[in-house]
Amino acid sequence: MTATPDVVIAHTRAWVDRAVIGLNLCPFAKAVQVKGQIRYVYCAASDASELLEALCSELHLLADAPAEQFDTTLLIHPGVLSDFLDFNDFLAVADGAVEELGYEGILQVASFHPQFQFADSALDDVSNATNRAPYPILHLLREASIDRAVAAFPEAESIFEANIQTLEKLGADGWATLQAQCLADAEKAAPKAEKATQKP
């Protein structure tokens, strides 16, 4: 059964809370989550051209909005680029859009995917979970916010190594349990969730 927009948003929020923040995979995420400065956007795109249109719209919106309103955007698109290799190819298109729209040095696009795989890792390597999310996600970030975060955390390069250690300690079974907890959280929260912002 296809998840509703409310469930998709709630599932992604639960993943941010339990995995990204709960496992401290990103030390900078908790502050913006607590302040409500993460914009969660459900994208109903069914092909790459529709996704690109939604991405450009969200880039404009993030660039124009004050950081106090929302500092970063998660553009969640479960209906397109479910194959990781296709998704990975699209990232070059996303970077091209940032440059073409004049946002180079202002915004950047990062990514998460359920099938994420590092180039030198096996598919079932638990280290891949550092970049795995319940759905394909384009993560829109402000360069200024990244610079401030790095300045506040001078050993930012150590985050990746710490994440690998955390996930290896958690193990595949622990990661699977956490994923199940995220889905359970979503199913409880979705009826109470705010209406998801939808993009064509």
| Cα(91)–Cα(109) distance, integer angstroms | 8
What is the predicted pLDDT for the residue at 192? 58
Residues recorded for the chain:
200
Per run of 10 residues, the mean pLDDT along the chain (length 200 residues) is 88 98 94 96 98 98 96 98 98 98 98 95 93 98 92 81 94 96 92 50
| Cα(98)–Cα(1) distance, integer angstroms | 34
Query: Tokens representing 56?
Result: 């450009």
In terms of C-beta distances under 8 Å and separation of at least 24 residues, what long-range contacts does 35-38 make, across chains too?
35/71, 36/70, 37/67, 37/68, 37/69, 37/70, 37/71, 37/72, 38/70, 38/71, 38/72, 38/73, 38/74
Q: What phi and psi, each to the nearest 5 degrees, are found at residue 155?
A: -100, 45
